[in-house]
Chains A and B, each alone.
Chain A
Amino acid sequence: MKKIEAFIRHEALEAIHDRLATMGLPSMSVTEVKGSGRQKGFTESYRGAKTTIFLRPKLKLEMVVDDADVDRAIDTILELAHTGEPGDGKIFILPVEESIRVRTGERGDVVLAPHPEEATA
């Protein structure tokens, strides 16, 4: 089991979510975050006073997937989050020890498996 943490642009999310869902990987969490990196800040001008904002808004997409699914999930994110400009984001892969489904108490890889209807779709 691996956790994928991808920092992406807001406008990339919908396409990534749709594509991953058709691949049987619909489970994810998305958080609005602010961060700084190579992308420069922007200037806010308000009533004649100016300030530079270095923290830009991004989305943090988190998903835990079976080892076998890691590469195709990453390839999807790489393809759809890419514009070629600074600020496209970064992807991190972390090991995961255990996963548990709250509704049933199941543990292990079964928790990550696609929903039955999606597997047959």
Chain B
Amino acid sequence: MRLRSFRLVPVLAAVLLLLVPALAAAQDVSDSDIALNSTFVFFAAVLVLFMQAGFAMLEVGLSRMKNAGAVMGKILINVAIAFLMFWAVGFSLAFGTGNDFLGSSGWFLDNGNPATDFASLAYSATNFEVTYFFQVVFCAVSLAIVFGAMLDRTKFIGYVIFAIFFTGLIYPIVAHWTWGGGWLLQDGFQDFAGSSIVHLQGALAALAGALVLGPRIGKFRDGKAVPIPGHSIPLMILGVIILWVGWMGFNPGSFLNAIGVNFADVAVNTNLAACAGIIGATVSSLIMFRTLDVSQMGNGAIAALVGITAGCAFVEPWAAVVTGLIAGLIVPPLVVAIDKIKVDDPVGALPVHGMAGIWGTLAVGLFATEERATALAVGEGGLFYTGSGHQLWVQFYGVAATIGFTFTASLIVFLAIKYTVGLRVSEEHELRGLDISEHGMFGYPERFIDVPGGQPEDLPPAPAPAPAGTSTATDPAPAS
């Protein structure tokens, strides 16, 4: 009965919603099973929500001090729009029961029967709203990736409008193809936690945005990339580690169940990949640049986490290490390659979430074991085990379809914004920094202006003077 009282907290309609899925899945699932599954998935969703703090720190660390406050405001408006749009329409488009390309039931979570309105989530023996919470924070992660490549030069209103279209339309449609029971799932496309669906999508929109925006002022001089160092590597790496922690919800939680699945095994794969990614990026940076670039080491960890996201439940630990190592190795050369084609990506979102996302999705087609694919009832074993390239081919056209749809749709939205309200701030605003020009306040005021209240070290002495003759406090002679 604890389950039921827990459920009574929301509005009355929600009570009805709750009982129905519990009954539908009631054949062999007890109330305590549902409570345990829900608790696990809820905790995983909280970890994924915490990833917003990771993106905030990573992005602010790699931006300049004059834009630090604007990055924080952007993160907040991101989460707000993602939650509201996904609640209103996104969740229904992605997970509602519909056709092979989009869902069309359960708008505003207002439905009579979750078991039929969201049939694609019926395998999750949880309280229905928990699965919604878990999916909405995934959507917010995908959106956060988009704006990493657009730092330091984007109008606030541009973020707002794109976020509405991305979380209310673009992301849900691609999510439906696989996670909503659409055509890619029926073909056996394996993307367990979203290397393609979450990360590659975010990166594709980021690429479209960066292309429409153009590079930051001063990024390219005489055809060569000029370093525009971010203001805090410690904050950036704090962000990397927060994201890593968040991934402990992102991947293991994607079972949407705790009972009957081995989520700890997924956590092992995820951590192994992240560590291999750091090694890969470190070695690659040393070979390419002759330096141990700390920001690249952090990017390597994230790239590996992105890479293993698709395959974490499909592969053995050794394959997780290989997937992560290669994802880390490719980051430094790809950062340079993106500079070469004159695209300005301040945080490395394109290599880290895009190329590593593609690699990770394809890697499942190589390394998925038949046993695990059968257990998850999605697709078949990869080339390495079966000798058949079929799964790799499915992975390939799944990625190609995602690229085709998301890049095109994002490009259209960004161009529409550019030619209506404008996507990029004026040159003057960019030079002054978005903090003061867009928000009227600095992220680090004392760096730029005198703040009232005086300097702590420049006060006159306290009123009561020391008695005559006791002058030790002002005696500058060294003790020696």
Report A's interface with B, CB cutoff 8 A: 18, 21-22, 26, 44-51, 115, 117-118, 121
CB-based contact B296/A21 at 8 Å: no
Q: Counting CB contacts under 8 A, is B476 at the interface?
A: yes
CB-based contact B475/A48 at 8 Å: no
User: In whole angstroms, what is the CA distance A22 to B225 when docked?
Assistant: 52
Residues of B within 8 A of A44 (CB): 227, 229
Which residues in chain B, 211-234, are within 8 Å of chain A measured between CB atoms?
224-229
User: Shortest Cβ distance from B379 into chain A, in angstroms?
Assistant: 37
CB-based contact A46/B477 at 8 Å: no
CB-based contact A51/B478 at 8 Å: no
Q: Which listed residue (A26, A47, A121) contacts B295, Cβ 8 A?
A: A47
Q: Which listed residue (A45, A51, A121) contacts B475, Cβ 8 A?
A: A121
CB-based contact A49/B227 at 8 Å: yes
Residues of A within 8 A of B228 (CB): 46
Q: Which listed residue (B289, B335, B471) contacts A45, Cβ 8 A?
A: B289
User: Shortest Cβ distance from A49 into chain B, in angstroms?
Assistant: 4
User: In whole angstroms, what is the CA distance A5 to B409 when docked?
Assistant: 63
User: Shortest Cβ distance from B237 into chain A, in angstroms?
Assistant: 14
Contacts A44-B229, A45-B227 given; does A117 touch B289 at CB 8 Å: no
Interface size on B, residues (CB 8 A): 23
Most chain B beta-carbon neighbours within 10 Å: one of A18, A26, A45, A46: A46
Interchain residue pairs with CB less than 8 A apart (11): A44-B227, A45-B227, A46-B227, A46-B293, A47-B295, A48-B293, A48-B296, A48-B339, A49-B227, A50-B227, A117-B475
* Residue on A nearest B471 in the bound complex, by CB: A117
Residues of B within 8 A of A49 (CB): 224-227, 339
Residues of A within 8 A of B224 (CB): 49
User: Shortest Cβ distance from B348 into chain A, in angstroms?
Assistant: 7
CB-based contact B229/A48 at 8 Å: no
Apart from A46-B228, A49-B225, A50-B227, list 6 A-B contacts with CB within 8 A: A45-B227, A48-B332, A48-B339, A49-B224, A49-B226, A118-B476
Q: Which listed residue (A21, A26, A47, A117) contacts B348, Cβ 8 A?
A: A47
User: Shortest Cβ distance from A111 into chain B, in angstroms?
Assistant: 18
User: In whole angstroms, what is the CA distance A18 to B293 when docked?
Assistant: 39
Report B's interface with A, CB cutoff 8 A: 224-229, 288-289, 291, 293, 295-296, 332, 335-336, 339, 348, 471, 474-478
User: Shortest Cβ distance from A86 into chain B, in angstroms?
Assistant: 24
* Residue on B nearest A17 in the bound complex, by CB: B476
User: Shortest Cβ distance from B198 into chain A, in angstroms?
Assistant: 24
Residues of A within 8 A of B477 (CB): 21-22, 121
Most chain B beta-carbon neighbours within 10 Å: one of A22, A44, A48: A48
CB-based contact A117/B474 at 8 Å: yes
User: In whole angstroms, what is the CA distance A26 to B288 when docked?
Assistant: 51
Residues of A within 8 A of B336 (CB): 48
User: Shortest Cβ distance from B406 into chain A, in angstroms?
Assistant: 25
Residues of A within 8 A of B335 (CB): 47-48
What 5 A-B pairs come out closest when comparing CB atoms?
A: A46-B227, A21-B476, A49-B225, A117-B471, A48-B336
Q: Which listed residue (B227, B291, B296, B332) contacts A51, Cβ 8 A?
A: B227
* Residue on A nearest B227 in the bound complex, by CB: A46
CB-based contact B475/A47 at 8 Å: no
Residues of A within 8 A of B471 (CB): 117
Q: Which listed residue (B288, B295, B475, B478) contacts A46, Cβ 8 A?
A: B295
CB-based contact B229/A26 at 8 Å: no
* Residue on A nearest B480 in the bound complex, by CB: A18
User: In whole angstroms, what is the CA distance A117 to B477 when docked?
Assistant: 11
Q: Which listed residue (A18, A26, A48, A118) contacts B289, Cβ 8 A?
A: A48
CB-based contact B476/A45 at 8 Å: no
User: Shortest Cβ distance from B158 into chain A, in angstroms?
Assistant: 25
User: In whole angstroms, what is the CA distance A118 to B228 when docked?
Assistant: 49
Residues of B within 8 A of A46 (CB): 227-229, 293, 295
CB-based contact A22/B226 at 8 Å: no
User: Shortest Cβ distance from A25 into chain B, in angstroms?
Assistant: 10
Residues of B within 8 A of A51 (CB): 226-227
User: Shortest Cβ distance from B127 into chain A, in angstroms?
Assistant: 44
Most chain B beta-carbon neighbours within 10 Å: one of A21, A47, A121: A47
User: In whole angstroms, what is the CA distance A50 to B224 when docked?
Assistant: 10
Residues of B within 8 A of A48 (CB): 225, 288-289, 293, 296, 332, 335-336, 339
User: In whole angstroms, what is the CA distance A46 to B475 when docked?
Assistant: 46
User: In whole angstroms, what is the CA distance A97 to B229 when docked?
Assistant: 45
CB-based contact A45/B225 at 8 Å: no
